[in-house]
Chain A
Amino acid sequence: MNAQRIFAIIHKEWREIVRDPLSLTMAFVMPVALVLLVGFGMTFDVQNVPLAVLDRDGSALSRDYAHRFIDSRYFDFNGYLADQREISPLLSAGKLRAVIIIPEQFERTLRAAQPATVQVLLDGAFPDRARIVKGYISAITGAASRDSIAEYLSRTQGVTTTELRPLLQPITLETRYLYNQGLKSDWSVPPKLLMFILFFAPAFMTSLRVVREKELGTIFNIYTSPVTRVEFLVGKLAPYVAIAMVNLLILWGIVLEVFDVPFRGSVPLFFGSGLLYVIATTCIGMLVSVFVRTQVAAMVISLFITFVPALQYSGLEIPVASMGTEAQVIAHLMPAMHFTRIIDGSFLKGVGLAVLWPDLALLAFYATALFGGCFLLFHKRVRQ
């Protein structure tokens, strides 16, 4: 390896970057804009679910029951329905996600100390959300049911409901929320966006670099020059790794200052693993670049192989442990999941190398293996 030649390549590459100021500006503005937009906008909480009630009883008790839904912050009450026939078009158009049907004689049945059954219709088109909504509704109905029993027992046995409640609810659950006591989604999403954005953005930018020279024909200058494959690759990658590291620093600052997320771990560990991570992601872009023949293909393929895994197989949405077997395999094949664990560990959990060393080691492995892959795939000879 000849340092001078590497610097020559870096210099040339840097010139090209600087001479396209719009691209360079976007390389810094885009991650910042995305972390702000997505960080403030993205929440997985299912709330304000549009709901309507068909109250066939119209009694005091049925209205009490309906009000438990109307007053809940999880539901957005869209009014009482007058007729069963209104339900189908509203659910089909996606205007409602849930409908509660309170049967006739609801009050009379309960007053007669008989169980009453309400009907719940859910829009099942979004299965995971339907299951969460189902859980909300069951919880509200369960509470209503317990209150109804307490009220009945206090009437028949002559005890007050305040005395009865603890008897009917003998177990209390005391929950401690660890690492994020306020359950803020502003704390939970933005740190992981560092992993997300620094997966696809560096890969995308790098993916154009070699194939662009192939398309324009300038690659032949490289083929005929004394520069070796390693020197060429290092020189090409270094500016993009540098850009990604500056981005990591800026985004880290935004997460700390704008989103007010605590950083409880080790700064050197975080940036050390961040460096390995962006080396891995720029190398993914480089792999695509040496593999394809057109910039268009490079754009589409690099975005696909980084964006989808960063979103779905990284632990951004759900922890890897909750995924299906195949998804877990895919997750383990990607560096994203390990950087997510380092991010969680460094920001909210405040754990160090003692816990995170396997993830750090795997990131080092990915960085090396992906660079090796680029080396093996890049040739200084035209292959037909």
Chain B
Amino acid sequence: MNGGPTFVGLQRWLQRLRVMTAKELLQLSRDTPLMVFFVFAFSFNVVMGGGRSGFELKNAVMHVLDHDKSNASRELIGRFKPPYYILHGVEGRPEEAMRMLDRGDVMVTMDIPSGFEKSLLRGEPAAVHMQVDTTNSSLGLLAASYAQQIIGEYGSEAALAGLGMDRQALEHLPLIREEQRAWFNPNQNNAWFFSISELMMMTTLLTILLSSAAMAREKERGTIEQLLVSPLTPMQIMLPKVLAMTLVVLIGSMVSVFGVLGPVFHLPIKGSLPLFFALTALYGFTSSGLGLFIATVTRNLSQAGLLGIFLFVPIILFSGIHTPHEGMPRWLHIIVLFNPLAHYIDATYSILLRGAGLDLIWDSVLAMALLGGTLFGFGVRRFRRQFE
């Protein structure tokens, strides 16, 4: 074969790819509820997602039984303040406080004994009691340790004041102070984090489910037989489905970035947007590859959907959006290496917020490409074996 026919062959190959991709897009666009959902998912939904609260101690409702009713006890209570704590009240009997905990009206109750101020003034130890609802163990622990910190600080200030040391005197003590700075998001704006993570969740949901559905539907309806008797190769049948989905999420991401992240949340984009969109295209390929793989091991939409969810749930939960990677058990770290979303998230936050370039995120890019390539390759192979 010389260069000519190969070139014609390539042209024909690309043309088939284009026609089939157009077919996929047309099919999607004719599903009105689905199209409405697309628009919603990448616009209003990202706005709503940006307003979420993260996992932190916030507005922990606290009820105090103040048996001392002194300046010292009021001063201490005053230090439990928003955003961490909300004061529910300072009256009542212990049984009532217990009932509030049972009902879930309050998360913490604190008991300040009578004679609290007197003990402090005399330099004697005083004990404060606290009850914490730990049905949510992580938050319960945070609530207790923040309280420990507040009370510790208050105690040593009171003690130093008792020793006759005022603010001036503190300058002549060997204190260790901190100057804290949070890089990349100095005002700790939750919306920057959650709007991006919402966008990535939507991308994942759509690519996995829609690409597996696109394939499973052809199997269920039997239209796959028509495609198989056509001159199309398995690659030409499967690749367009991936391309169509990638294109859809790419457009969706652009809508979110230019329509929501910038105008609504004033996200300062530190890194290169083209790099981010290229990464999104790669992620689209990887997770549609997963979707197609699902479709090749199942027979109908219901099976494909169930298997899709089964993979989707851990992909989302162990991506780093909802739970921190660092806290996960060891065995899970190995599983997370195979989670394409975890790599996409690492790389995306690095590009958009931390201003990283390809030199710093190449490992995530490589991992996504390997995963996507392998899944897609497996998919095409299984497809060939099933039908040829």
Q: Name the residue on A nearest B129 (C-beta).
A: A174
Q: Name the residue on A nearest B136 (C-beta).
A: A188
Give the chain B neighbours of A173 by CB distance below 8 A: 127-130, 147-148, 151-152
- Does A63 lie at the interface of the complex (its beta carbon under 8 Å from any beta carbon of B)? no
Most A CB within 10 A of own CB, among B142, B159, B181, B217:
B159
Which of B59, B141, B192 interacts with A321 by CB under 8 Å?
A: B59
Give the chain A neighbours of B123 by CB distance below 8 A: 167, 170
Inter-chain residue pair count (beta carbon < 8 A): 412
Q: Name the residue on A nearest B221 (C-beta).
A: A215
Q: Name the residue on B nearest A341 (C-beta).
A: B104
- Does B310 lie at the interface of the complex (its beta carbon under 8 Å from any beta carbon of A)? yes
User: Apart from A177-B140, A180-B135, A345-B102, what are 10 other A-B pairs with CB-CB below 8 Å?
Assistant: A26-B307, A91-B354, A94-B349, A144-B176, A171-B151, A174-B130, A176-B129, A296-B301, A299-B305, A300-B34
- Does A208 lie at the interface of the complex (its beta carbon under 8 Å from any beta carbon of B)? yes
A345 vs B133: C-alpha distance when bound (angstroms): 12
Q: Which stretch of B231-239, B281-289, B321-329, B374-382 is in the interface?
A: B321-329
Which of B174, B349, B354 interacts with A111 by CB under 8 Å?
A: B174
A–B complex contacts, Cβ < 8 Å, 8 sampled: A134-B180, A169-B152, A175-B130, A178-B133, A293-B31, A296-B34, A323-B53, A324-B51
- Does A266 lie at the interface of the complex (its beta carbon under 8 Å from any beta carbon of B)? no
Assess the B298–A297 pair: CB atoms within 8 A.
Answer: no
Give the chain B neighbours of A212 by CB distance below 8 A: 301-302
- Interface residues as binary, A86-127 with B (CB distance below 8 Å gives 1, 0 otherwise): 000101111001000000000001111111111111111111
Assess the B178–A115 pair: CB atoms within 8 A.
Answer: no
Assess the A142–B210 pair: CB atoms within 8 A.
Answer: no
Which of A115, A132, A180, A295 interacts with B171 by CB under 8 Å?
A: A115
Q: Which stretch of B4-12, B63-71, B249-257, B355-363 is in the interface?
A: B355-363
Give the chain B neighbours of A293 by CB distance below 8 A: 31-33
Per the 8 Å Cβ criterion, residues 35-83 of B in contact with A are 37, 41, 48, 51-61, 76
Q: Name the residue on B nearest A132 (C-beta).
A: B56
Assess the B209–A300 pair: CB atoms within 8 A.
Answer: yes
Please provide the 7 A-B residue pairs with the shortest distance between their CB atoms, ordered closest to farther. A128-B54, A124-B182, A124-B185, A171-B155, A44-B138, A110-B174, A188-B137
Q: Name the residue on B nearest A93 (C-beta).
A: B360
Which of A138, A201, A326, A349 interacts with B149 by CB under 8 Å?
A: A138
A312 vs B192: C-alpha distance when bound (angstroms): 17
Assess the A183–B141 pair: CB atoms within 8 A.
Answer: yes
Assess the A120–B128 pair: CB atoms within 8 A.
Answer: no
Q: Name the residue on A nearest B107 (C-beta).
A: A319
Assess the A26–B154 pair: CB atoms within 8 A.
Answer: no
- Does B15 lie at the interface of the complex (its beta carbon under 8 Å from any beta carbon of A)? no
Assess the A172–B139 pair: CB atoms within 8 A.
Answer: no
Shortest Cβ gap from A188 to chain B (Å): 4
- Does A322 lie at the interface of the complex (its beta carbon under 8 Å from any beta carbon of B)? yes
Per the 8 Å Cβ criterion, residues 114-149 of B in contact with A are 119-120, 123-142, 144-149
Per the 8 Å Cβ criterion, residues 40-96 of A in contact with B are 40-50, 65, 76, 89, 91-94
A371 vs B188: C-alpha distance when bound (angstroms): 43
Q: Name the residue on A nearest B185 (C-beta).
A: A124
Please judge, given known A-B contacts A127-B193, A170-B158, A201-B309, whether A299 and B139 are in contact too, CB under 8 Å.
no
- Does B290 lie at the interface of the complex (its beta carbon under 8 Å from any beta carbon of A)? no
Assess the B177–A131 pair: CB atoms within 8 A.
Answer: no
Assess the A175–B147 pair: CB atoms within 8 A.
Answer: yes
- Does A348 lie at the interface of the complex (its beta carbon under 8 Å from any beta carbon of B)? yes
Please judge, given known A-B contacts A123-B184, A127-B192, A132-B56, whether A318 and B139 are in contact too, CB under 8 Å.
yes
Please judge, given known A-B contacts A92-B356, A116-B174, A119-B181, whether A344 and B135 are in contact too, CB under 8 Å.
yes
Give the chain B neighbours of A128 by CB distance below 8 A: 53-56, 190, 193
Assess the B175–A149 pair: CB atoms within 8 A.
Answer: yes
Assess the A126–B135 pair: CB atoms within 8 A.
Answer: no
- Interface residues as binary, B289-310 with A (CB distance below 8 Å gives 1, 0 otherwise): 0000000001111110111111
Q: Name the residue on A nearest B188 (C-beta).
A: A127
A65 vs B60: C-alpha distance when bound (angstroms): 32
Q: Which stretch of B258-266, B272-280, B312-320 is in the interface?
A: B312-320
Per the 8 Å Cβ criterion, residues 348-369 of A in contact with B are 348-349, 351, 355
Assess the A327–B180 pair: CB atoms within 8 A.
Answer: no
- Does A33 lie at the interface of the complex (its beta carbon under 8 Å from any beta carbon of B)? yes
Assess the B322–A127 pair: CB atoms within 8 A.
Answer: no
Q: Name the residue on B nearest A174 (C-beta).
A: B129
Most A CB within 10 A of own CB, among B138, B142, B162:
B138
Give the chain B neighbours of A321 by CB distance below 8 A: 59, 61, 107
Most A CB within 10 A of own CB, among B171, B213, B305:
B305
A326 vs B53: C-alpha distance when bound (angstroms): 10
- Does B371 lie at the interface of the complex (its beta carbon under 8 Å from any beta carbon of A)? no
Which of B48, B59, B180, B327 interacts with A120 by CB under 8 Å?
A: B180
Shortest Cβ gap from B5 to chain A (Å): 39
Which of B58, B180, B189, B302 interacts with A318 by CB under 8 Å?
A: B58
Assess the A294–B135 pair: CB atoms within 8 A.
Answer: no
Give the chain A neighbours of B312 by CB distance below 8 A: 303, 307
Shortest Cβ gap from B134 to chain A (Å): 4
Q: Name the residue on B nearest A311 (C-beta).
A: B322
- Does B246 lie at the interface of the complex (its beta carbon under 8 Å from any beta carbon of A)? no
Give the chain B neighbours of A20 by CB distance below 8 A: 300, 302-303
- Does A34 lie at the interface of the complex (its beta carbon under 8 Å from any beta carbon of B)? yes
Assess the A319–B136 pair: CB atoms within 8 A.
Answer: yes
A307 vs B49: C-alpha distance when bound (angstroms): 13
Assess the A115–B174 pair: CB atoms within 8 A.
Answer: yes
- Does B229 lie at the interface of the complex (its beta carbon under 8 Å from any beta carbon of A)? no
Per the 8 Å Cβ criterion, residues 303-325 of A in contact with B are 303-304, 307-308, 311-312, 317-319, 321-324
